[in-house]
Structures are given as C-alpha cells and as structure tokens.
Amino acid sequence: MSQEIEHVQCLIIGSGPAGYTAAIYASRADLKPVLYTGMEAGGQLTQTTEVDNFPGYPNGVTGPEMMEDLRKQAERFGTDIRFGYVSSVDFSSLPHKVVVDEVKTITADTVIISTGATAKWLGLPSEQQYNGFGVSACAVCDGFFFKGQDVAIVGAGDTAAEEATYLAKLCKKVYMLVRRDEFRASKAMVHRVLNTANIEVIYNTEAKEVLGNGKNVTGLRTINNQTGEETDLEVEGFFVAIGHKPNTEIFKGWLEMDETGYLKTIPGTTKTNVEGVFACGDVQDHYYRQAVTAAGSGCMAALDAERYLAAKEDEVKVSI
C-alpha cells in the first residue's frame, strides 16, 4: 500500500532558538509551518543552566526554561511541532522532498534549515561531569561567571585565540593549553594572545583531567606530551575551544558548504544556493554562535520564505 505524501508550505528543521523563532514568524505569516525538533528538542541551550544574555529576561533564565517559552510561543500561533529527525533530503526539483525518521516523505514549498552545530569535546569523563559547573564550550556565554577568577582554555585555532583574549578581559589569569609547539591560529590572533599580559600559553600540553569537589571545578590536571610531566593548575573554569561540527551531513551534495561543513548563505540573507531553501542559526554561522543571533536569523529565514512564496504566487498570477 503506498503511503500518502504530506505537503506543507513551510518545513522547519530543528528546534533551537533559530527554528522556533522562524516558526513564530512563519506561523504569524500564515505559512502553517511544520517543525521537526530533531533528537535534541530545544537545541543546545537545553544543555545549560544559566542564560544571562538573552534580551527580555532581566533576572536570567535557565536554558531549558527559555526553550520551553520559545516552543509555547511558536505553538500559540499554530506551528505544528513534531518530534522526529530529518534523515534525508532531495532538493533536485520543486517541491522539495524531505524524509523524516527514514520512513515518512514530506514535500515542502520552502524548507528552513536550523539544525545548529555541536561543540567538540575532549572526551574526558570528568569534562562531562563538570559540564555546566565550570566546564564550558563558550567563553562569550559563560566567561562572565568567572569574573576575577583563574581559568584554563584548550585550543590552538582562531576561535580559541579569540575566546582566550575575551576571557583575559574578565578573568584574573588565563592558562592556554596548546597541544603542539605552535598555534594553528592566524598570525594576527597569535600576536594578540602573546601580547596579553594575563594569558600564559603552555605549549605541548594537553588536559588530562578536570579536577573538582563533586559540585564545581577546582582545577585542571595537565600533561606535557613531550615529557609526560603532569601539572595541576588551580582554576575555577575550564573552556574547551577545539571547534564545532555543524549538523549538515544530510545536506551534503545538495547545498553549498564551506570547508568545515557550515552552510553557505547569500550575504545579508538566509538564502542557500537552492531556491526555496533557507538556513539560519549556528548551522550557517561559525562566528557569532549565540542564541540571540540564531533567533535573529530565524526571523530572517521566515521572512525570506514568506517573500519567496509571495513572489512565486505573483509569477503564477502574471502567467495566467
């Protein structure tokens, strides 16, 4: 028996700040959006406790609470929110085809991709134990909580260098662990790090274990990979800045990406190289990676989708 194929005007993939914001705008524009949450309903912010920098919450909010608020707001205007993940897409012709949970095919006039990115971790059990309790993958998000304290950061690329200098403005001392005897970051960024008085770069060194008192981080055990010598640093925070992986596997071969897999959009818009397919949030932004910027681009994606559909409708009217 052949399964009936469902058709929607606007399909949103992902339920982080970008996806839910796109859903709020798309449903208010009467695009009757259907949103698939993916395996992490609510996105990356569900992994964190305090969110202090999202406008509109003067006393801060927990990540899960904030995402619950966004979900309710999207539902209030009629977004059809479903638990499920998109397993493959076919953008070869219009309408676009999207397969959900490997079984259900949906056709869509517009697709908004907001599948986010996943922070890379070192893989230490203690790192996961103290994640959110002194361990973080985002200096801009969590640096403030370590004002005046000593922290360590691991990473050697541009992002790590950027985050180390950001932390140096807030923290008393920043230990920067670099695995090799040199940085991967650009010369300008390395210059900035080396000229910041309260950053101490420790080369040929890796994190061996995050030390804690059962509640919070109290230190970091490091190991020199040349000599095997172990050193304990007294720090209250540990930042992992070894990169992010955008969730774009299923779009390979369909959409243009940069060398690290981030989706490319036409500057100033959320348009991808395929008509009717838009990308917003961290999946197309390796630079800002904040909830508010993700939400902002989610709004742009819904407006781009709405205007695309309106222009299509005009084309049909003119041709009649």
Amino acid at 180: R
From 10, 109, 142, 171, the catalytic residue: 142
Q: Is 138 designated active site?
A: yes
* Residue number, 121 or 180, with CB nearest to ligand FAD: 121
- 3-class secondary-structure state, position 194: helix
From 10, 141, 171, 280, the catalytic residue: 141
Say if residues 155 and 163 touch (Cβ distance below 8 Å): yes
Cα–Cα distance for residue pair 209/225, rounded to 1 Å: 14
Per the structure block, which two tokens stand in for 198? 């309260």
Cα–Cα distance for residue pair 146/171, rounded to 1 Å: 6
Say if residues 177 and 222 touch (Cβ distance below 8 Å): yes
Q: Cα separations (Å) of 141 from 197, 246, 286?
A: 23, 19, 15
Q: Is 280 designated active site?
A: no
Q: Exactly one of 205, 222, 247, 272 binds ligand FAD (CB under 6 A); which one?
A: 247
- By DSSP bridging, strand 104-113 and strand 6-13 are parallel
Interface with ligand FAD, residue 244, by CB under 6 A: no
Q: Is 141 designated active site?
A: yes
- 3-class secondary-structure state, position 190: helix
Binding segment toward ligand FAD, per CB under 6 A, in 116-124, 157-165, 171-179, 231-239: 116-124
Q: Exactly one of 9, 19, 146, 212 binds ligand FAD (CB under 6 A); which one?
A: 19
* Smallest distance from ligand FAD to CB 44, Å: 4
Q: Exactly one of 37, 165, 270, 272 binds ligand FAD (CB under 6 A); which one?
A: 37
Q: Cα separations (Å) of 140 from 160, 166, 188?
A: 12, 7, 20
Binding letters toward ligand FAD, positions 74-93, x by CB under 6 A:
-----------xx-------
Binding letters toward ligand FAD, positions 260-299, x by CB under 6 A:
---------------------xxx-----xxxx-x-----
Interface with ligand FAD, residue 33, by CB under 6 A: no
* Residue number, 118 or 224, with CB nearest to ligand FAD: 118
Active site residues: 138, 141-142
